[in-house]
Amino acid sequence: MLKVENVHFSYGDRTVLRGVSLDVEPGEVRVILGPNGSGKSTLLRIVAGILRPDRGRVVIDGEDVTDRPPEDRRVGYVPQHPTLFPHLTVKDNITYSLRNGRGDPDQLDELVEMLELGEHLDRRPDELSGGYQSRVALARALFSDPRVLLLDEPLSDVDLAAKRDLVKRFRRALRRSDAPALYVTHDPWEAERVGDSYTVLLDGRSVDADTVDEALERLRRGAPVGEGS
């Protein structure tokens, strides 16, 4: 389970997060929605260990990891623009975590089949479209046997026609993983099809929503937590 408890964060004198809290169960995909600058990516970087909160804590499987470096958290991170190793093949990118003693080689065939990467294993990332690079980034994150998955607008570089197929594949892959997942997107259509639950970030605060429509209504009104009903 992933717990974010009362997290505050500022960049200098600009406060971004003001007491954000959320829980994500194993196998659950919680979609994070919010306007630009609301702290969605910042929240993911705090969970990943790239940033340290000013206050609050991050708990994974009952363990407080707030002060732990990224390499000790076992977090799979898929950034908005895939950061694949350009000199490695697709296969070597996916299995890169083996160099650090993480990952199960027996998973490779299943991931490759699920994400339809079989014909691309010997290619380099610059030979792939944005959609296929996103598939490789997700496969790499899943292969590393993560305790938590973080996806920051993973399909933002993908055209609409390709996205319709990729959302189904991403959803299927995330469901097969038992790791709790945070998934950031601006696209309500994507959010509805990939998410189990929703959190809206507004004015640095978080509020949970049961449906995409409820989340969008919160965004439309722009009401921080505790204002309105």
Length of the chain measured in residues: 229
Rg of the chain taking only CA atoms, in angstroms: 17
- Rounded Cα distance between 201 and 37, Å, is 10
Token pair, residue 220, equals 């439309």
Residue 171 class from Cβ within 10 Å (0-12 exposed, 13-18 middle, 19+ buried)? middle
Neighbours of 214 (CB within 10 A): 14
Edge-to-edge strand order for the sheet containing 197-202?
Answer: 75-78, 148-152, 181-184, 29-33, 197-202, 205-209
C-beta of residue 89 within 8 angstroms of C-beta of residue 121: yes
Residue 174: count other Cβ atoms within 10 Å of its Cβ: 21
Give pLDDT, residue 213: 94
Q: Could you tell me where the DSSP H helices lie in 83-129? A: 90-94, 108-114
Q: How far apart are CA 214 and CA 162, in angstroms?
A: 27
Helix, strand, coil fractions of the chain, as percent rounded to 5: 40, 25, 35
pLDDT at 224: 52
The pLDDT of residue 225 is: 47
Helical H runs in the chain? 40-48, 90-94, 108-114, 130-143, 160-176, 188-194, 212-221
Domain 2-221's class?
Answer: alpha beta
What pLDDT shows up at residue 161?
81
pLDDT at 221: 84
Q: Is 33 exposed, middle or buried (0-12, 13-18, 19+ CB in 10 A)?
A: buried
Tokens of 221: 């009104």
Please state whether beta strands 205-209 and 197-202 pair in parallel, antiparallel, or not at all (unpaired). Answer: antiparallel
Q: Mean pLDDT in runs of 10 for the chain (229 residues)? A: 98 96 96 94 97 98 96 93 94 96 92 95 95 94 96 88 88 91 94 96 93 92 53
DSSP state of 186: S
Starting at the earlier edge strand, list the strands of the sheet with 14-24. Answer: 14-24, 2-11, 55-60, 63-64
- Indicate the domain borders of the chain: 2-221
